Amino acid sequence: MKVVSPSTMRELDRKAIEDMNVPGIVLMENAGREVALAVKRLWDEDPLKKKRKVVLFCGKGNNGGDGFVAARHLANMGFEPIIFLVAEPEAIKGDAAINYHIILNMDISVIIIESGEDLDKAREHCGDAAAIVDALFGTGLRGEVQGTGRQAIELINSLDVPVVAVDIPSGISGETGKVLGAAVRARETVTMALPKMGMVLYPGAAYAGKIIVADIGMPSSILKSVKAEAELLEKDQVAGLFKPYPPDAHKGTFGRVFILAGSAGMTGAAALCSLAAARSGAGLVTLGTPESLNDIMEAKITEVMTLALPETPQRSFSIKALGKALEFSSQCDAAAIGPGLSRQDETRDFIRQFVAACPVPMVIDADGLNALAEKPEILAGLKVPAIITPHPGEMARLLSTDAGAVQEDRVGAVREATKRFKCTALLKGARTMIAAPEGSLWINPTGNPGMATGGSGDVLTGIIAAFLARGMEPWEAAAAGAYIHGLAGDLAAAAKGEISLIASDLLDFLPEAFSKFEARSSNTQPIDG
Ligand X SMILES: Nc1ncnc2c1ncn2[C@@H]1O[C@H](COP(=O)(O)OP(=O)(O)O)[C@@H](O)[C@H]1O
Backbone angles phi, psi at 110, to 5 degrees: -125, 120
Quick one: how far is CA 60 from the chain centroid? 32
Contact call for residues 211 and 195 (beta carbons, < 8 A): yes
Let me know if 198 is exposed, middle or buried by CB neighbors in 10 A (0-12, 13-18, 19+). buried
Binding of ligand NAX by 372 (CB under 6 A): no
CB-nearer residue toward ligand NAX: 74 or 466: 74
Q: How far is the CB of 170 from K ion (least distance, A)?
A: 4
Go through 42-69 and write b for each residue having 16 or more CB atoms within 10 A of its CB, e for each that does not. bbeeeeeeebebbbbbbbbbbbbbbbbb
Binding of ligand NAX by 204 (CB under 6 A): no
Backbone angles phi, psi at 250, to 5 degrees: -135, 175
The count of residues interacting with ligand NAX (CB under 6 A) is: 27
Q: Hey, which residues between 213 and 252 contact ligand NAX (CB under 6 A)?
A: 216
Could you tell me if residue 253 is left (phi over 0), alpha (psi between -120 and 50 degrees) or otherwise beta? Answer: alpha
Stretch that binds ligand NAX, among 23-31, 111-119, 400-408, 439-447 (CB under 6 A): 23-31
Angle subtended at Cα 519 by Cα 516 and Cα 525, rounded to the nearest 5 degrees: 75
With CB under 5 to 8 Å by kind, the binding choice for 134 among ligand X, ligand NAX, K ion, none is K ion
The count of residues interacting with K ion (CB under 5 A) is: 4
Torsion of CA 452, 456, 458, 464, to 10 degrees: -110
Q: How far is the CB of 131 from K ion (least distance, A)?
A: 14
Crossing angle of the two packed helices 94-105 and 24-45, in degrees rounded to 10: 50
CB-nearer residue toward ligand NAX: 190 or 510: 190
Cα–Cα distance measured from residue 97 to residue 522, given in angstroms and rounded to the nearest whole number: 39
Cα–Cα distance measured from residue 177 to residue 201, given in angstroms and rounded to the nearest whole number: 5
Q: Which of 58, 192, 212, 506 binds ligand NAX (CB under 6 A)?
A: 192
Annotated binding-site residue numbers for (6S)-NADPHX = 62-66, 138-144, 167, 269, 340, 391, 458
Residue whose C-alpha is closest to residue 239's, from 523, 45, 528: 523
Binding of ligand NAX by 167 (CB under 6 A): yes
Chain length of the chain? 529
CB-nearer residue toward ligand NAX: 24 or 393: 24
With CB under 5 to 8 Å by kind, the binding choice for 370 among ligand X, ligand NAX, K ion, none is none
Q: Which of 43, 57, 137, 483 binds ligand NAX (CB under 6 A)?
A: 137
Binding of ligand NAX by 83 (CB under 6 A): no
Binding of K ion by 170 (CB under 5 A): yes
CB-nearer residue toward ligand NAX: 1 or 216: 216
Cα–Cα distance measured from residue 509 to residue 490, given in angstroms and rounded to the nearest whole number: 9
Cα–Cα distance measured from residue 284 to residue 268, given in angstroms and rounded to the nearest whole number: 20
Residue whose C-alpha is closest to residue 199's, from 528, 427, 439: 528
Annotated binding-site residue numbers = 62-66, 134, 138-144, 167, 170, 269, 340, 391, 428-432, 457-458
Q: How far is the CB of 213 from ligand NAX (least distance, A)?
A: 13
Stretch that binds K ion, among 129-137, 228-236, 426-434, 509-517 (CB under 5 A): 129-137
Q: What is the dihedral sign for C-alpha 496, 500, 505, 506? A: positive
The DSSP letter of residue 520 is: P
Q: How far is the CB of 455 from ligand X (least distance, A)?
A: 5
List residues binding ligand X (CB under 6 A). Answer: 366, 391, 428-430, 432, 447-449, 451-452, 454-458, 460, 485-486
Q: How far is the CB of 285 from ligand X (least distance, A)?
A: 18
Binding of ligand NAX by 59 (CB under 6 A): yes
Q: Which of 85, 113, 141, 382 binds ligand NAX (CB under 6 A)?
A: 141
CB-nearer residue toward K ion: 166 or 460: 166
Residue nearest to K ion (CB): 170
How many DSSP H helices and E strands does the chain contain?
22, 18
Beta strands 284-290 and 256-260: pairing type?
parallel
With CB under 5 to 8 Å by kind, the binding choice for 390 among ligand NAX, K ion, ligand X, none is none
Binding of ligand NAX by 60 (CB under 6 A): yes
How many other CB atoms are there within 10 angstroms of residue 240's CB atom? 12
CB-nearer residue toward ligand NAX: 31 or 309: 31
Binding of ligand NAX by 445 (CB under 6 A): no
Cα–Cα distance measured from residue 465 to residue 191, given in angstroms and rounded to the nearest whole number: 37
With CB under 5 to 8 Å by kind, the binding choice for 27 among ligand NAX, K ion, ligand X, none is ligand NAX
Cα–Cα distance measured from residue 312 to residue 238, given in angstroms and rounded to the nearest whole number: 41
Q: Which of 35, 57, 66, 427 binds ligand NAX (CB under 6 A)?
A: 66
Binding of K ion by 191 (CB under 5 A): no
Binding of K ion by 34 (CB under 5 A): no
Binding interface with K ion (CB under 5 A):
134, 165-166, 170
Binding interface with ligand NAX (CB under 6 A):
13, 24, 27-28, 31, 59-66, 137-145, 149, 166-167, 192, 216
